[in-house]
Structure 1
Amino acid sequence: MSERDAWATRLGFILAAVGSAVGLGNVWRFPWMTADNGGSAFLVVYLAIVFAVALPGLIGEFVVGRRGERNPVGTFARLGSSSWRPIGWIAVLTSLIVLTFYSVAGGWVLRYLFDSAGGDVLLQSVGLASTTAFGSPGAHFGAISVGPAALIAHLVFIGLTGAIVYFGVADGIERATKIMVPAIVLLLIGLAAWAFTLEGAAEGLAFYLAPDIDYLAANLIGVVEAAAGQALFTLSVGAGVMLTYASYLDEDRSLFVDGASIAVLNTAIGLLAGLVVFPIVFSFGSIEAGSGGPGVIFVSLAQAFSQLPAGRVIGAIFYLVLALAALSSAISIMEVLVAYLVDEHAIARERATVGITLLFAATGTVCALSSDVFALFADNLANLGLATGLLAFLLFAVWILRDEATDELRLGGGRVTDALATPWLALIATVLPVFLVFTILGGLPAALTTLGDLLGSVPGWGYLVGAIALVGLAHAVVFRTEIAAFAN
């Protein structure tokens, strides 16, 4: 088996985990979900779920990961038996789903960073583009968010992600996030301070921070479901990311302290992103409760930047923040699949990374070429996968590890951790599973409806391609040992 990598420093692990949690989940998806779900109404529920559900779940994923010292599939086989491997495969599949659409959104960010620097004007001058980001924001996002332009940007983004993961945990992921996370925080603070000076910023802050009880009462179930999905997404729990990161930890680290630090830092950065986005958007327009969508961070902000004297400069700074956030999260998701190949099949990291990068280049292409598929992955499948994965992780900790789970949590901790270990186990055994089952059942009908609508528009040859793909995937699972031997 190939020698496993490890974190060089505790700070490196925390920043990498925060980078994974921050990502587009906070700077892109959080404003989008907030705008879609009533602004402040969503924020109140989201904060409650982060600390009552997502944080205990994050600690649970840490406990299982450090105990198993493997990727998700190997961890459950090692701690339980081979019959528990499917739980690991849920995590791997969820990671595949998330990065498949995430890399497309990351490509949008790179394209807007390029455009803010004048790339859109250059492409238009040579006849390669018909719109510009700040000249016609809505039309431009429509032109670059799906089709060949989205595909090219996606391939660039996934290539950059693979390049960082290629160099390993300490030399690749840790080094990169030690630069990216502080840069994200400093740039967001500067942008927030500037945004507060804009005329109309107060209206944006009110939409974002003043609780809208009426909207919450009228849309409680939908807001809770959206907030739960966002909380799990933004802390990267349920996809095996934090499990994999924890597998590289030593026993002298306090999982409770590290988990709490990550949750607080991640939430603070998410709130900071909102303090940037909503004052800017409301200074040059507004957002109606229940409206938004994945383009809100691009179309609305590009419209705002277009009305500023130094709009392209400010836009370039903002989209640089977004690009750093996107990469810091994408590398953590890719690491889940790379770690699986390294741990379970002794494939060299370099070769595994190249193979996984090519896999995501292919799967992301589907989302880049179809906005309906992108919406299915981003709105429905990701939320269901994260909730299902976390539910399985926690039930495994309760049913199989039992006392070992609290013993693992106590390692490297102090009196506070000792006092909280038993209540934490009771929480993940009772309240969290009920909440996660509610979330899964609440989101399943929408996912099935969306999938049915999507399949209804698929031509006959599409089903043939899908059948071939499923048969190929089944063979890949059955003959994975032979495939791994061939790869070596």
Structure 2
Amino acid sequence: MEQRSQWGTRAGFVLAAVGSAVGLGNIWRFPYVAYENGGGAFFIPYLFALLTAGIPILIMEFTMGHKYRGSAPLSFFRMSGKKAEWIGWWGIFVSFVISTYYAVIIAWAMKYTIYSFNLAWGTDTAGFLFGDVLNLAETPGQAGGFVPGILIPLLLVWVIAFIILFAGVKRGIELANRIFIPTLVVVFLLVVLRAVTLEGAALGLDAFFKPDLSKLADPTVWVAAYGHIFFSLSIAFAIMITYSSYLPKKSDITNNAFITGFANSGFELLAGIGVFAALGFMATQANVAVADVASAGVGLAFVVFPQIVNEMPGMNGLFGALFFLSLVLAGLTSLVSICETYIAGVSDKFNISRRRSVIIGVGLSAVISLLFATRGGLFFLDAADYFINQFGIAAIGLIEVILIAWVFRKLDVFENHANEISDIRLGGWWKFCLRFITPIVLGYMMFGLLKINLLKQHKDGEGNVIGNYEGYSDAFIWTSGWSVAIFAIVAAVIFTIFKWNSNTLNSSDYDKR
């Protein structure tokens, strides 16, 4: 069996963990979530959620990976045998699904980085995205053939990811993050500096930061804070367990978790300033309220931001290119971390070389991702993303915490392990958060999600009750949504049934206490 890879430096690990946490959602999701949930007041539940769920779970996953020195399935197996191993595989297959469509969004950002220089999107930015770029099919569920303009950059994304992952942990992932993360920070700082100097920027920042304290009495705002923290920090993806397994035996786990958590939050705050300063400028130019132009997700990045770039008085192309380049960099660091979960899992389980695992894992993911480069790709992506996120990550997190805290009762073991090597000592607060606060909040979230999706009680923009998510047909929801979430669970059970290679299990490179 190959000797387990290891980070070259502590900074290399922290940059990689931050690179995983800082992704597309930090830029196009957090600002709007904060805005619609109380503005400046949202930072109170956000910080509370970070300290009572985000960082505690980070510490738990860092400790698990570091103690058991393995991928997520191997770490769970070493912790409590076959009855726990399936959780690690579940996280891995959720990550696998996400990697297939996440790469396509990065490909879009690559295209738009180039489009920025001559403002190729014209004045009708929505029409350009859905027509010229995506050539979107009329009916969800129809593939409709490849879109060459998406297929080519998608292949480039996979080539970059393959080169980084093939080079290994120290010479590939660590080196890439040492380059990408500082570059991302500098690039996005330039975006923010330009945005805050635009006319109307103060209007946008006022909308973003102005506190609506009445929102603090709304339990859905607190749930939104926990939900965002949970999805933002790359927990329950199997990523942080895998990354921490490459740490040296003497590593300050608790401190690393705090640094990762606060670094991620710092970038989100920076993103909020840049995005809402730009939205304030757009609202001023259109003589409308910020609420009329504020949005999130694909619409914000590929429709609204090109409109903002169009209206800018100078340096339009450069501003646009820097913004979309930041999406590319944030996306690549996250994609690499997502892929690393199944590369490590397959390598550990079947005792094959890392390079062979990269070829198999990345190759299969790249092939499946071609579906999202078709004319119907956006519909497939939307459904898969919604269901794999809501019924994959949130469910794994809930079950993971309940099993470790209440069934396997490993929190005391993890506390002792972390305290032996960390400057910041864990105590009752950490165990209380994982035993009570996190399960209750995640359980409430899952109950609400199941109620919405099983009873089909979605609401449209005007508050009217509609059927399935985005009004999709039952057939499309089942084939492209529920089936994806179910696949991750079934695949996890199947891989758990396979026997571990004896060389893997006989390795003594972990703490058996």
1:88-167 aligned at under 5 Å gives the runs: 88-118=88-118, 132-143=120-131, 144-145=133-134, 148=147, 149-167=149-167
Question: 1:41 and 1:141, CA in 2 relative to 1: closer, same or farther beyond 3 A?
Answer: farther
Q: Greater CA deviation, 96-105 or 259-268?
A: 96-105
Deviation at 1:99, TM superposition (A): 2.1
Question: 1:37 and 1:159, CA in 2 relative to 1: closer, same or farther beyond 3 A?
Answer: farther
Structure richer in helix, relative to its length = 1
For the Cα contact (< 8 Å) 2:282–2:293, is it kept in 1? no
2:444 aligned with 1:444, yes or no? no
- Structure 2 equivalent of residue 184 of structure 1: 184
For the Cα contact (< 8 Å) 1:109–1:322, is it kept in 2? yes
Runs of 5+ consecutive residues of structure 2 not aligned to the other structure? 137-145, 284-289, 457-467, 502-513
Deviation at 1:55, TM superposition (A): 1.1
Please state whether the residue corresponding to 2:183 is helix, strand or coil: helix
- Structure 1 equivalent of residue 302 of structure 2: 298
Q: Deviations over 1:257-280 (max 9, x none)?
A: 110011111100111011111111
For the Cα contact (< 8 Å) 2:16–2:173, is it kept in 1? yes
Question: 1:366 and 1:454, CA in 2 relative to 1: closer, same or farther beyond 3 A?
Answer: farther
Deviation at 1:183, TM superposition (A): 1.2
Partner AA of 2:23 in structure 1: G
For the Cα contact (< 8 Å) 1:305–1:315, is it kept in 2? yes
Matches of 1:325 and 1:460, distance apart in 2: 31
- Structure 1 equivalent of residue 286 of structure 2: none
Question: 1:475 and 1:25, CA in 2 relative to 1: closer, same or farther beyond 3 A?
Answer: closer
Question: 1:390 and 1:460, CA in 2 relative to 1: closer, same or farther beyond 3 A?
Answer: closer
Deviation at 1:459, TM superposition (A): 11
Matches of 2:197 and 2:395, distance apart in 1: 43
Matches of 1:221 and 1:266, distance apart in 2: 24
Please state whether the residue corresponding to 1:347 is helix, strand or coil: coil
Matches of 1:460 and 1:305, distance apart in 2: 39
Matches of 2:150 and 2:47, distance apart in 1: 33
For the Cα contact (< 8 Å) 1:58–1:237, is it kept in 2? yes
Question: 1:194 and 1:459, CA in 2 relative to 1: closer, same or farther beyond 3 A?
Answer: closer
Question: 1:413 and 1:365, CA in 2 relative to 1: closer, same or farther beyond 3 A?
Answer: same
2:378 aligned with 1:371, yes or no? yes
For the Cα contact (< 8 Å) 2:86–2:493, is it kept in 1? no
Matches of 2:492 and 2:99, distance apart in 1: 21
Which residue, 474, 480, 483 being the options, matches 1:456?
474
Runs of 5+ consecutive residues of structure 1 not aligned to the other structure? 122-131, 484-488
Please state whether the residue corresponding to 2:29 is helix, strand or coil: helix
Deviation at 1:374, TM superposition (A): 2.1
- Structure 2 equivalent of residue 12 of structure 1: 12
Count of paired positions: 463
Give the share of equivalent positions with the same residue, in percent. 29
For the Cα contact (< 8 Å) 1:35–1:288, is it kept in 2? no
- Structure 1 equivalent of residue 438 of structure 2: 432
1:220-235 aligned at under 5 Å gives the runs: 220-235=218-233
1:185-200 aligned at under 5 Å gives the runs: 185-200=185-200
For the Cα contact (< 8 Å) 1:64–1:393, is it kept in 2? no
1:336-485 aligned at under 5 Å gives the runs: 336-368=341-373, 369-398=376-405, 399-414=408-423, 416-417=424-425, 420-448=426-454, 449=456, 450=468, 454=472, 456-458=474-476, 477=495
Partner AA of 1:302 in structure 2: P
Partner AA of 1:266 in structure 2: N
Partner AA of 1:59 in structure 2: I
Q: Greater CA deviation, 198-207 or 184-193?
A: 184-193
Matches of 1:113 and 1:436, distance apart in 2: 37
Matches of 1:265 and 1:427, distance apart in 2: 21
Matches of 2:81 and 2:492, distance apart in 1: 21
Deviation at 1:385, TM superposition (A): 2.0
For the Cα contact (< 8 Å) 2:15–2:181, is it kept in 1? yes
For the Cα contact (< 8 Å) 2:59–2:257, is it kept in 1? yes
2:262 aligned with 1:274, yes or no? no
For the Cα contact (< 8 Å) 2:19–2:334, is it kept in 1? yes
Deviation at 1:388, TM superposition (A): 2.2
Partner AA of 1:299 in structure 2: V
Q: Greater CA deviation, 44-53 or 307-316?
A: 44-53
Question: 1:373 and 1:47, CA in 2 relative to 1: closer, same or farther beyond 3 A?
Answer: farther
For the Cα contact (< 8 Å) 1:18–1:265, is it kept in 2? yes
Partner AA of 1:443 in structure 2: L
Q: Deviations over 1:320-375 (max 9, x none)?
A: 12211111111011000000111111222222112212222233334443433322
Question: 1:296 and 1:176, CA in 2 relative to 1: closer, same or farther beyond 3 A?
Answer: same
TM-score (norm 2): 0.81
Which residue, 237, 249, 257 being the options, matches 2:247?
249
Matches of 1:380 and 1:473, distance apart in 2: 16
For the Cα contact (< 8 Å) 1:195–1:280, is it kept in 2? yes
Deviation at 1:421, TM superposition (A): 3.0
Question: 1:41 and 1:102, CA in 2 relative to 1: closer, same or farther beyond 3 A?
Answer: farther
Question: 1:193 and 1:426, CA in 2 relative to 1: closer, same or farther beyond 3 A?
Answer: same
Matches of 2:479 and 2:443, distance apart in 1: 36
Please state whether the residue corresponding to 2:427 is helix, strand or coil: helix
**TM-align CA RMSD:** 3.2
